[in-house]
Amino acid sequence: MDNALGQPQTIVLLGGTSDIGLAIVRELLSPATRAIVLACRDTSKGERAAGELRSDSVVVEVVPFDAADPSSHAALVEGIGGRYGDIDVVILAAGLLGNADVTTVDVAAATELATVNFTGSVSVTVAAANLLRAQGHGAIVILSSVAGERVRAANPVYGGTKAGLDGFAQGLGDLVAADGVHVLVVRPGFVRSAMTAGLKPAPLSTTPEHVARLTVKGLRAGRRTVWAPGALRYVFSALRHVPAPIWRRLPLG
C-alpha cells in the first residue's frame, strides 16, 4: 500500500520493456518501493531492464506477458497479486506503433495491431482493475496517445486503437473510483524512444523521462488525464474542431 507520502511499495509494468513505462517506474521509485514486476513478451530484454532497477531493498521480477493473448491475462494478474499481496500502481505500456503503409492494407497486420493495442489492453486492464477493486485501493496508469484524439489518415489503425483505449480508460476510471481505484490516462505526443526510432520527430516531441515526470506529478495530484507535453492539450482542443475538408489537408503526417 502507498505510504503516507503517496509512494508505492509494489509497481507492476505491463509492457515491461517500454521506454516510457520504465521511465515512469524509475520516477516512482522511492525508499518505500519493495517490489517491481516487469511483465513483457521479450523476457531477456526484460531481465536487462530489471538489472538496472534491482537493489538490496527492491525485488524485481520479470514475467512473460503477451498482450495478444487475452486468455492468459486474468491468471497473470492473479498470480502477481498472489505473490505480492497489495499492488499499488499498475502501468499499461504495452503497444505497437505499426507501419501504416502495411496496416491500412494488410488485414493480418491490422488485426494484430488492434488486438495488442485495444483488445489485449482492455483485457489486462480489466483483470488489473478487478484486483485493485478487491483490495480497495491502487492506481492504473494507461498510456494512450494524442493520435487517438482525432484519428489521422496517416495512421488510422494505430490512432483508432488509441481512441478506443482512451475512451475505455476514461469510462473505467469513472466506474472504479467508487472502489478506491484511480485511473490516469496519459496522452503523449511524439516521444523519442525505441518505438519511434528512424521516424522524423513531430513538433513538440518529447522524451520518456519528461512523460514520466508529468505522469507521476499527475498521479500524485489525482488527475484523470495528463498531456505530454502539456501544450498539446491546447493544440488538440483546436484541432478537434477543424472542419473535415481542412483537416484532411493539414500536414500532420
- Out of 47-51, 79-83, 163-167, 201-205, least confident range: 201-205
Which distant-in-sequence residues (6+ apart) come within 8 Å of 179 by Cβ?
132, 133, 136
Q: Which three cell numbers stand for residue 98?
A: 505499426
| Positions marked catalytic | 158
If one compares 192 and 136, the residue with the highest pLDDT of the two is: 136
pLDDT, tens only, 130-186: 999 999 999 999 999 988 888 888 889 999 999 999 999 999 999 999 999 999 999
pLDDT, tens only, 103-137: 999 999 999 999 999 999 999 999 999 999 999 99
If one compares 133 and 237, the residue with the highest pLDDT of the two is: 133
**What CATH number does the domain containing 164 carry?**
3.40.50.720
Domain that holds residue 142: 10-247
- Domain assignment present for 187: yes
Question: What are the b/e assignments for 9-45, b being 16+ CB within 10 Å?
Answer: bbbbbbbbbbbbbbbbbebbbeebbebbbbbbbebee
Mean pLDDT computed over 78-102:
94
Give Cα 165 distance to the centre of its chain: 10
Q: How many residues belong to the chain?
A: 253
Mean pLDDT computed over 197-212:
75
pTM recorded for the entire structure: 0.90
Q: How confident is the model at residue 233 (pLDDT cuts 50, 70, 90)?
A: confident
Task: Quote the number of domains for the chain.
Answer: 1
**189 pLDDT exceeds 80?**
no
Instruction: Confirm if 20 and 196 have CB atoms less than 8 A apart.
Output: no
**5 pLDDT exceeds 60?**
no
- Domain assignment present for 208: yes
- Domain assignment present for 62: yes
Mean pLDDT computed over 179-202:
79
**195 pLDDT exceeds 70?**
no
CA distances for 192 relative to 19, 62, 161, 217, angstroms? 9, 25, 21, 21
Handedness of CA 88, 215, 24, 78 (dihedral sign): positive
Instruction: Confirm if 102 and 109 have CB atoms less than 8 A apart.
Output: yes
pLDDT, tens only, 9-62: 999 999 999 999 999 999 999 999 999 999 999 999 999 999 999 998 999 999
